[in-house]
Amino acid sequence: MARIIDVELNNIIGENVKKLRIEKKMSQKELSDRLESYAVYICRGSISRIESYERTVTDFELKALSEVLGVSIYDLFSK
């Protein structure tokens, strides 16, 4: 049986992060910069990898992303 980390995707919020970021008219760099105010340091390239499901997201990062994007954590998971 495959473990959860054995799947091709490294997160399940990438599409919603990208959609919400674009709705807020925010570049990946702007998102990265705003995350710093929450002491979360994700470079622009890592934002890109999150959005393309290539990078995992920690619980601290998840909370900061929801704050910066102005949504609940649950909204990051919704389809």
pLDDT digits (tens, 9 = 90+) for 2-52: 555 556 788 999 999 999 999 999 999 999 999 999 999 999 999 999 999
Which pLDDT belongs to residue 4?
53
The pLDDT of 51-69, averaged and rounded, is 96
Q: What is the pLDDT of residue 48?
A: 97
Cβ count near 44 (within 10 Å): 14
- How far are the Cα atoms of 15, 63, 65 from residue 74, in angstroms, in the given order? 14, 10, 11
Token couple for 1? 């049986």
- Please tell me the predicted confidence (pLDDT) of residue 1: 47
